[in-house]
Amino acid sequence: MNRTQLLRNPKQRKLLFSAGISWMFDAMDVGMISFVVAALAKEWSLGSQEVGLLASSTSIGMVFGALLAGMLADRYGRKNLLLWTLIIFSAASGLSALATGFAVLCILRFVAGIGLGGELPVAATLVSESMPVEDRGRSVVLLESFWAAGWILSALIAYFIIPDYGWRMAFVIGALPAFYALYLRRAIEDSPRYVKQKAARRLSLSERISSVWSSEHRKTTLMLWVLWFTVVFSYYGMFLWLPTVMVDKGFSLVKSFQYVLIMTLAQLPGYFTAAYLIEKFGRKFVLVTYLVFTALSAVWFGYATSVGMLLAAGICLSFFNLGAWGGLYAYSPELYPTRMRSTGVGLATSFGRIGGVIAPLLVGVLKENGTSISSIFLLFFVTILIGAAAVLVWGRETKGLELAD
């Protein structure tokens, strides 16, 4: 099979696009909350710690969502869990528009997070298991590129909808993906590898968890947990606060939304270059290179003072950070056999999501205590380098290798 067959195979192309649209809706919902909290901070007079708590409530749900969906997908199938997680976060997002107070909104965002956190590792596993070996990594990175489309969509909604129609209308739009689940139900199938594995004896939950930490997979699991934690910690700490940080630097709410939209557009070339390089030079090369440049971009953004420097640093931050995310999702499912793949990825993702809980809260506390933005982004610089070092030292290259059954 040559490298262009992915584009000629209608079934694989349809799966990639269909799963990608669901991924886009996931990103739209996550991105929306970063813009909503910037508006709510003014409307509800929220302090930095409250803003951090609201941003983290989604991430807390994502911890449980990734854990549960990863385990259940190995038992009930990737397709079924993809549909249910999509419905859960769409319904919770729509109900968020009716929130009457801060506590109610936090609870609804927690429920939305369960769906959001569950969908991503399941969708990545489904696509990874359904693609030929020479296109597998590229396909999952392209799947991840729909995340940029979702963030761009959320930035457009924030720019055109929130100033005139309010944040509640943004959440109403977030409910629309529930209708897409009806299409997905007929449009996609479970991966051939999972269907084949169903015929064999299925491992119990305790056996799957034990296998993740067995001597065969222990070093891989440790590396993956460190990598997921550092990447998620830095991403949610930086990007959920990005509009608010721009406001703190003196820009109006509308102008900060405009600048973040420009930065977000840089995510697309970040994904596409990673998609090319991941099959040419391997997973480790992409992850380590893009993470190192993400760390450098974080320091640059933290110390930037002029509009030009802020935009340039923000563009580089988006480019390299989201390219690394593409490599992360491509790499993770390749490290475990089919019988425990979704469980292994779900556990790593769930642990990583704890970083997504801590980081927005930590930024809120640090800001409230007078810590400078430059010092906060220096913290992210160190964290990201730890993740890159874990891959470099403990990671094994999976480029060109068939998935283990």
For residues 36-62, average pLDDT: 82
Q: CB neighbours (10 Å) of residue 100? A: 7
Q: pLDDT tens, 305-353?
A: 777 888 898 899 999 998 998 889 889 988 988 888 888 888 998 899 8
The b/e string for 149-183 (b: 16+ C-beta within 10 A; e otherwise) is bbbbbbbebbeebbeeeebeebbbbbbebbebbee
What confidence score (pLDDT) does residue 320 get?
Answer: 95
Instruction: Give the number of C-alpha atoms closer than 13 A to the C-alpha of residue 64, restricted to the C-beta side.
Output: 14
Q: Is the pLDDT of residue 269 over 80?
A: yes
- Binning pLDDT at 50, 70 and 90, where does residue 200 land? low
- Binning pLDDT at 50, 70 and 90, where does residue 226 land? very high
Q: pLDDT tens, 74-102?
A: 888 888 888 999 999 899 999 999 998 89
The torsion of the CA quartet 200, 203, 208, 211, rounded to 10 degrees, works out to -70
Q: CB neighbours (10 Å) of residue 384? A: 29
For residues 200-226, average pLDDT: 84
- Binning pLDDT at 50, 70 and 90, where does residue 3 land? very low
State which of 88-97, 118-127, 195-204 shows the largest mean pLDDT.
88-97
What confidence score (pLDDT) does residue 1 get?
Answer: 40
What confidence score (pLDDT) does residue 198 get?
Answer: 66
For residues 11-16, average pLDDT: 85
For all residues of the chain together, what is the average pLDDT?
85
For residues 396-405, average pLDDT: 78
For residues 21-25, average pLDDT: 89
What confidence score (pLDDT) does residue 4 get?
Answer: 45
For residues 160-181, average pLDDT: 87
Q: Is 331 exposed, middle or buried (0-12, 13-18, 19+ CB in 10 A)?
A: buried
What confidence score (pLDDT) does residue 29 get?
Answer: 87
Q: pLDDT tens, 371-381?
A: 888 899 999 99
State which of 91-105, 190-204, 228-242, 335-349 shows the largest mean pLDDT.
91-105
> Domain 11-179+204-394 is in which class?
mainly alpha
What confidence score (pLDDT) does residue 199 get?
Answer: 59
What confidence score (pLDDT) does residue 338 get?
Answer: 80
